[in-house]
Amino acid sequence: MIIKEILNRRSIRKYKAEAVPEEYITEIIKAAQFAPSAMNNHAIEFIVIRNQETKNNIYEIVGQEHVKEAPVLIIPATDSTKTNCPVEDLSVATQNMFLQATALGLGTAWKSIRPELREEIKKLLGIPGRFIVINIIPAGYPEEKPGPHTDKDFDGSKIHREKW
Ligand SMILES: Cc1cc2nc3c(=O)[nH]c(=O)nc-3n(C[C@H](O)[C@H](O)[C@H](O)COP(=O)(O)O)c2cc1C
């Protein structure tokens, strides 16, 4: 049986104006820190952004309206001097964040920071040079309700057993 957070997690890009409690942000970041990490490096730090002007400035760089409309943005950043698997570490932590946010009734969506824009984002936010960012996690109470995943999203033909 698939756990309900996996079924219910959908990318949400419209949010209510209601603020997200700080304890929820902490829970989401805690979930990220409980994720597996290469060599158990736990090299990820997080920047939490609520300031509207900062959100607008981020939007100007990466685009997509929900980036400036979300009540809060979380950007995980991993220390490249502490991990040789930065993208993997960030990805697995991000999925934990999505699932925890879903359990808290919050909507999230992966917002990519294209490689050529990453230094600009780091400069804007004062993130030290050795850190790597790949995505932004906007979070808020959902204003849209896409349906949960169901078995129609399952494709058994993609499973190869023993040999391709
Ligand atoms: C690596 C990755 C990059 C993504 N980049 C973006 C993005 O930049 N903007 C966006 O709106 N959604 C982005 N998404 C979300 C996908 O569009 C979304 O997961 C997909 O359409 C499936 O919908 P679901 O998340 O509701 O299941 C990204 C997802 C992944 C895994």
For 68-86, what is each residue's pLDDT tens digit?
999 999 999 999 999 999 9
What number does the ligand 1 atom closest to the CA of 146 have? 26
Q: 57 exposed, middle or buried (CB, 10 Å; 0-12, 13-18, 19+)?
A: middle
Question: What digits encode the pLDDT tens for the residues 100-121?
Answer: 999 999 999 999 999 999 999 9
- Please state whether the predicted TM-score (pTM) of the whole model is above 0.95: yes
Confidence of residue 132 (pLDDT cuts 50, 70, 90): very high
Instruction: Kindly state if the Cβ of 66 falls inside 6 Å of ligand 1.
Output: no
**What is the spatial distance between Cα 144 and Cα 147, in angstroms, rounded to a whole number?**
10
The answer to whether 68 and 78 are in contact (CB under 8 A) is no
Quote the ligand 1 centre to 127 CA distance (angstroms): 24
Mean pLDDT of the chain: 98
pLDDT for 72 equals 98
- Most ligand 1 atoms within 8 A of CB, residue of 11, 96, 133 to mutate: 11
161 membership: H or E segment, kind and range = none
CA distances, 145 to each of 8, 16, 27, 108, 148 (Å) = 10, 12, 23, 12, 9
Dist. CA 35–CA 100, nearest whole Å: 11
pLDDT confidence of 159, banded at 50, 70, 90?
A: very high
Which pLDDT value is given to residue 117? 98
Q: Which CATH architecture has domain 17-145?
A: 3-Layer(aba) Sandwich (3.40)
Per-residue pLDDT at 136: 99
Could you report the per-residue pLDDT of 54-64, keeping only the tens digit for each? 999 999 999 99
**Does residue 15 contact residue 157 with C-beta atoms inside 8 Å?**
no
Q: Give rounded-to-5 percent helix, strand, coil for the chain.
A: 45, 20, 40
Which whole number is the average pLDDT over 29-49?
98
Measure the CA–CA gap between 55 and 68, rounded to whole angstroms: 5
Mean pLDDT along residues 135-141: 98
Q: Which atom of ligand 1 is nearest to the CA of 153?
A: 27
Atom 9 in ligand 1: residue holding the nearest Cα: 111
**How far from chain centre, in Å, is Cα 163?**
34
Expressed in angstroms and rounded, the spacing between residue 114 Cα and the centre of ligand 1 is 13
